[in-house]
């Protein structure tokens, strides 16, 4: 089955261009074969029933050594149990599990998945029991059949959709093969939806569009996703579909233009000694429709893309280099999904090149292995529980096993794990349903990195996510105590929107009193963050009810202590200075390098040598005065502490200051801004040499992210 062309016959290609995949199987013919097989009696034990010959052929193409005996037995049980049942189209019902199994076989599913697919409706619709399936086919097949059975109501029963999808996700989370079977089941139902009433077609198509297509995208099963998109497009937007279909039909030479570019690419790669297979990939109808909306009038190369398949990862970049050297690249179209794979396991290089005649062709470059995963996603990864014991009940050594006894799927994508985490916290099915649809509507995802290097090292978030989302993605409910973050090494408020590749260090309070504010909901984009914040606010109504101040709060001040600071001396010709005092803008203390300037009143103001006021004074033509420290070790200094607001912060800071024997001459706490608080302390130090250690102790107070010497301007005299 082709992932690009839902209707392969619509766009003919040059005969020199190889095409992968097979034509769609005629399901009515399969139904007749199944019926004839049933009336003719069981097939000989040494060969498969004729009705599943297509399945066997497709399966052996991916798994040459597969044992097909179990498929034969599963078909016999499915056919006999469904005998006498018919679909609404009039076909024998066995054609449905056969078609579903064929879809999965063409995607490369392993034997266990195909066996469960043949049997997926038997427990729900026939007299076959789950115990019977377990006895005849093992615990693994029974587990998958049971998982699919639990979500069968998804096709019908709109009122129960939220809770049904919640159960479906739980089942999928334990084994992604359950969702693989479900998606193939929905694809065949969509193919044969024409026998239903228009309003029912529309309802099923909308659910498919809103939930199942995004799930197929996230599971990486592009072959299913693209065909589902076209089928939904035809039902929900029939006029646009017909316009697009006619547009494709009216441009039969499109593949010739792409084929000509493909020949040029093939010649370039052959000359460079790179072994590659160059294919023309016609776009499916929805893709053509989107390109038309984006570009307006379409040219021949817009109806498809080139696919270059190579053997090794390094060859991908070799191909890219040759294409960008021998053709004119469209730099804005370049994307590297090999170095940074997409959230659904997709890897490929994307670029676009302009041929000498001006034709611009999009090119996908990937290895054969990448191509298999790009087409089939998690289906191509095989049995995620291959390390289990033969009875499927106990994992082998090294296979993760959670405390509740459920199996852990090592192929489970990270987004699915997050989805399962927050769905458990959703207070009701409607909240879950709303959050699910919003999450699945996100087309783009970004990756940010932990600044502390902790495993797994990266966080995947939807585009537009903020530091709030990163906090809950990394720390779960512990993020309630988040005070702020450093983004790319710089302090940032929690409202900061993150970009792809950003480095994030989240700062948490050490106490358990801190919690989120209602404003966090304005910055939370992920369901996990929103549900966790809402739950905490509901559990702590006193916090949510406290209004944020609209006017600046009065500053907190401590009266100044007039004790003298360190001894200073100034060397002046003539009259001695009226006073020698440290400047308030930089508050120098021993053993800082200092310089002085004569100011009004005959006093000398002493600055640190690197104070910005020194350059200003020199610019005004003021001559510096030689100053020096006396013998005393005391000193007065002004420090500025930047912190995140939390209960008890002021007490903790003053305690750290007192521990070093420093006296608080004055203190000022400015009103919070975006949860950040600025503290200014003028301190009398018993020994100025201990200033660096004092500043470090203040920085170690939870919530404090920086402590620096004061740099504010106090006037130049």
CA separation for the pair 504, 450 (Å, rounded): 5
CA separation for the pair 67, 114 (Å, rounded): 12
What is the predicted pLDDT for the residue at 428? 60
The Cβ of residue 225 has, within 10 Å, a number of other Cβ atoms equal to 24
326-333, Cβ contacts within 8 angstroms, sequence gap of 24 or more:
326/268, 327/264, 327/268, 327/353, 327/354, 327/355, 328/353, 328/354, 329/353, 329/354, 330/354, 330/360, 333/362
The pTM (predicted TM-score) of the whole model is 0.61
Question: What average pLDDT does this structure show over 546-567?
Answer: 42
Cite the active site residues.
124-125
Tokens of 583: 């400047």
Residue 492, SS3 per DSSP: strand
Q: What is the Cα 88 distance to its own chain's centre?
A: 40
Going from the C-alpha of 380 to that of each of 105, 184, 220, 234, 442, the distances in angstroms are 10, 14, 10, 28, 24
Each residue's pLDDT tens digit, 264-296: 899 999 999 999 999 988 888 988 888 888 777
CA separation for the pair 675, 705 (Å, rounded): 13
CA separation for the pair 449, 495 (Å, rounded): 17
Residue 627, SS3 per DSSP: strand
HSE (CB half, 13 Å, CA atoms) of 219? Answer: 29
Strand order in the sheet with 458-462: 458-462, 445-450, 503-508, 482-487, 490-492
Residue 172, SS3 per DSSP: helix
What is the predicted pLDDT for the residue at 366? 94
Q: Are 239 and 245 in contact (CB under 8 A)?
A: no
Each residue's pLDDT tens digit, 482-539: 877 888 888 778 888 888 878 888 887 766 566 788 888 888 888 778 878 888 888 8
What is the predicted pLDDT for the residue at 421? 60
Each residue's pLDDT tens digit, 361-420: 899 999 998 898 888 887 876 665 554 433 333 333 333 343 333 444 445 555 555 555
Tokens of 307: 């696919």
Question: What average pLDDT does this structure show over 163-168?
Answer: 59
Q: Are 607 and 588 in contact (CB under 8 A)?
A: yes
Question: What average pLDDT does this structure show over 101-124?
Answer: 90
* Residue 715 clears pLDDT 50, i.e. is over it: no
CA separation for the pair 201, 281 (Å, rounded): 30
Q: Are 713 and 611 in contact (CB under 8 A)?
A: no
What is the predicted pLDDT for the residue at 297? 77
- Measuring CA to CA, which residue among 161, 54, 140 is closest to residue 102? 54
Query: Whose structure tokens read 């996100």?
Result: 442
Query: Whose structure tokens read 């970004």?
Result: 446
> Would strands 445-450 and 503-508 be described as parallel, antiparallel, or unpaired?
parallel
The values of phi and psi at residue 569, to 5°, are: -130, 145
Rounded to 5°, the CA angle 189-94-154 comes to 35
Each residue's pLDDT tens digit, 232-255: 999 999 999 998 888 888 887 777
Helix and strand numbers (H, E) in the chain are 26, 21
What is the predicted pLDDT for the residue at 268? 92
Band of the pLDDT at 338, cuts 50, 70, 90? confident
How large a percentage of the chain has pLDDT more than 70?
72
The answer for residues whose C-beta is within 8 angstroms of residue 396's C-beta and 6 or more apart is 387, 388, 389
| Mean pLDDT of the chain, nearest integer | 75
Per this entry, what is the length of the chain? 717
Each residue's pLDDT tens digit, 408-451: 444 555 555 555 565 555 556 566 656 666 665 555 677 788 77
């Amino acid at each position: 089955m082709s992932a690009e062309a839902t209707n392969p016959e619509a766009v003919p290609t040059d005969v020199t261009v190889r095409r992968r995949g097979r034509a769609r199987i005629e399901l009515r013919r399969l139904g007749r074969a199944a019926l004839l097989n049933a009336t003719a009696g069981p097939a000989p034990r040494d060969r498969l029933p004729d009705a599943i010959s297509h399945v066997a052929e497709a399966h052996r193409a991916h798994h040459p050594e597969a044992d097909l005996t179990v498929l034969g037995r599963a078909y016999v049980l499915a056919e006999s149990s469904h005998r006498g049942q018919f679909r609404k189209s009039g076909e024998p019902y066995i054609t449905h599990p056969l078609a579903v199994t064929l879809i999965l076989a063409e995607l490369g599913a392993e034997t266990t998945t195909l066996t469960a697919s043949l049997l997926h409706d038997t427990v729900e619709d026939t007299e076959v029991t789950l115990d019977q399936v377990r006895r005849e086919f093992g615990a693994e097949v029974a587990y998958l059949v049971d998982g699919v059975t639990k979500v069968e109501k998804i096709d019908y029963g709109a009122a129960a959709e939220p809770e049904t999808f919640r159960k479906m996700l739980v089942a999928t989370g334990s084994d992604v093969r359950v969702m693989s079977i479900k998606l193939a089941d929905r694809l065949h139902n969509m193919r044969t939806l024409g026998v239903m009433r228009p309003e029912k077609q529309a309802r099923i198509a909308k659910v498919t569009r809103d939930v199942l297509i995004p799930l197929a995208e996230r599971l990486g099963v592009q072959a299913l996703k693209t065909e589902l998109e076209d089928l939904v497009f035809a039902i929900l937007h029939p006029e646009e579909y017909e316009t697009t279909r006619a547009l494709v039909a009216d441009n039969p030479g499109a593949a010739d233009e792409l084929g000509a570019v493909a020949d040029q690419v093939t010649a370039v790669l052959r000359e460079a000694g790179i072994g590659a297979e160059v294919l023309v990939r016609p776009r499916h109808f929805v893709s053509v429709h989107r390109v038309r909306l984006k570009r307006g009038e379409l040219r021949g190369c817009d109806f498809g893309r080139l696919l270059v398949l190579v053997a090794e990862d390094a060859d991908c970049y070799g191909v890219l280099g040759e294409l960008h050297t021998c053709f004119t690249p469209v730099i804005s179209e370049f994307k590297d999904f090999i170095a940074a794979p997409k959230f659904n396991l997709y890897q490929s290089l994307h670029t676009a090149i302009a041929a000498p005649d001006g034709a611009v062709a999009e090119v996908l470059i990937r290895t054969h292995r990448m191509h298999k995963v790009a087409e089939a996603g998690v289906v191509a990864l095989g049995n995620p529980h291959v390390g289990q014991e033969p009875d499927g009940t106990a994992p082998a050594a090294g296979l993760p096993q959670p405390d509740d006894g459920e199996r852990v799927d090592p192929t489970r994508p990270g987004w699915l794990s997050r989805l399962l985490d927050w769905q458990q916290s959703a207070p009701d099915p409607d909240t879950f349903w709303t959050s699910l649809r919003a999450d699945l509507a996100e087309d783009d995802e970004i990756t940010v990195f932990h600044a502390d290097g902790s495993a797994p090292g990266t966080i995947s978030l939807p585009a537009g996510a903020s530091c709030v989302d990163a906090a809950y993605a990394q720390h779960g409910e512990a993020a309630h105590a988040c005070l702020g973050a450093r983004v790319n090494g710089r302090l940032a408020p929690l409202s900061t929107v993150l970009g792809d590749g950003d480095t994030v260090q989240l700062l948490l309070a050490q106490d358990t009193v801190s919690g989120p504010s209602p404003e966090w909901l304005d910055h939370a984009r992920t369901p996990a963050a929103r549900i966790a914040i809402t739950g905490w606010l509901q559990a702590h109504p006193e916090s949510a009810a406290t209004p944020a101040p609209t006017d600046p709060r009065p500053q907190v001040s401590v009266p100044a202590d007039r004790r003298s600071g360190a001894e200073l001396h100034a060397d002046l010709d003539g009259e001695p200075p009226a006073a020698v005092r440290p400047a308030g803008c930089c508050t120098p203390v021993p053993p800082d390098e200092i310089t002085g300037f004569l100011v009004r009143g005959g006093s000398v103001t002493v600055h640190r040598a690197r104070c910005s006021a020194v350059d200003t004074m020199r610019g005004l033509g003021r001559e510096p005065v030689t100053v020096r420290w006396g013998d005393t070790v005391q000193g007065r200094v002004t420090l500025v502490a930047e912190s995140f607001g939390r209960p008890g912060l002021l007490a903790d800071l003053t305690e750290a200051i007192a521990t070093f024997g420093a006296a608080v001459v004055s203190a000022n706490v400015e009103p919070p801004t975006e949860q950040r608080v600025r503290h200014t302390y003028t301190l009398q130090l018993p020994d100025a040499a201990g200033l660096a250690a004092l500043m470090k102790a203040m920085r170690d107070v939870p919530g404090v992210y920086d402590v620096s010497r004061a740099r504010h301007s106090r006037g130049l005299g």
